[in-house]
């Protein structure tokens, strides 16, 4: 797909200041800096069907934090499909046609959205990371699975240890701030989905001192921390791997107790 992207997408994005096409976490990406904000457009394929394509927008506004928007989820569905992906028939000719449609969406809707994300002030972002988790948790879970290939069919000591190791790999990686933030969101969604699947927990929304949190509820033990987004964010910030390991080991004990092991 690189050849087609460079023929169809790259020339038009270069006209508005984006750099050359590059790869980040196995996906194609374009970046530019506007008034101190790094703006990124990521183009990627579906985990199970490489003929399906979509794009996502990111902004690193420094002290303002990372803002993300999957255009097809948070606004109207530009692709016009149930899952928000554009699809081509596997031929180079049709791929170029579909990329032209994606380019039109990026120019007409994506870039203006990047400008809006860049203009938000830090106080506009109160609780926004949980809003994003609520909107994108299924996709974030899928991306972690696609990127790290973890064990997903059981919740036991071996699988939990494997999950911890995969998250710690991301902590050790010398990645830029946008990529690290994506890894945090993906890991939080992945762990939450496993607890929902194996422990019968569920997503809940709650307001705490004016901030809306989106995290797990009805967990098997009331003293197990279930705000994985907050906990993993703290672990990455302080490079404290013990936080994640301790939390997951507590959850494993709670799950085993619930199952009578």
Q: What pLDDT, in 10s, does the model give residues 209-235?
A: 555 677 788 877 766 767 888 889 889
Please give the model's pTM, rounded to 2 decimal places. Answer: 0.64
Task: For residue 195, give the nearest of 212, 214, 219 by alpha carbon.
Answer: 219
Domain limits of the chain?
2-120, 128-258
Question: Using alpha carbons only, what angle is made at residue 27 by residues 24 and 29, rounded to the nearest 5 degrees?
Answer: 65
pLDDT of residue 123: 44
Q: C-alpha angle with apex 89: 86 to 92, nearest 5 degrees? A: 100
Class of the CATH-defined domain 128-258: mainly alpha
Q: What are phi and psi of 240, to 5 degrees?
A: -110, 95
> Each residue of 86-124: pLDDT tens digit?
999 999 999 999 999 999 999 988 888 888 777 765 444
The pLDDT value recorded for residue 215 is 77
């Amino acid at each position: 797909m690189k050849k087609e992207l460079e023929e169809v997408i790259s020339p038009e994005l270069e006209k508005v200041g984006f750099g050359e096409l590059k790869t980040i976490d196995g996906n194609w990406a374009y970046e530019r800096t506007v008034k101190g904000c790094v703006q990124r457009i990521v183009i990627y394929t579906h985990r199970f069907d490489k003929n399906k394509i979509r794009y996502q927008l990111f902004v690193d506004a420094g002290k303002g934090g990372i803002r993300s928007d999957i255009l097809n989820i948070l606004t109207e569905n530009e692709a016009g499909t149930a899952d928000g992906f554009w699809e081509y028939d596997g031929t180079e000719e049709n791929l170029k046609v579909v990329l032209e449609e994606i380019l039109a969406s990026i120019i007409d809707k994506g870039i203006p959205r990047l400008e809006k994300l860049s203009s938000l002030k830090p106080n506009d972002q109160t609780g926004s990371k949980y809003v994003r988790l609520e909107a994108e948790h299924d996709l974030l879970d899928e991306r972690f699975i696609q990127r790290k290939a973890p064990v997903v069919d059981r919740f036991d000591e071996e699988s939990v240890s494997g999950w911890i190791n995969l998250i710690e790999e991301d902590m050790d990686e010398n990645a830029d701030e946008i990529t690290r933030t994506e890894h945090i969101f993906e890991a939080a969604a992945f762990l939450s989905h496993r607890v929902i699947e194996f422990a019968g927990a569920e997503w809940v929304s709650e307001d705490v001192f004016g901030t809306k949190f989106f995290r797990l509820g009805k967990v098997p033990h009331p003293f197990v921390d279930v705000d994985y987004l907050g906990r993993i964010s703290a672990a990455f910030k302080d490079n404290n791997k013990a936080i994640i390991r301790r939390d997951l080991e507590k959850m494993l004990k709670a799950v085993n107790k619930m199952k009578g092991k």
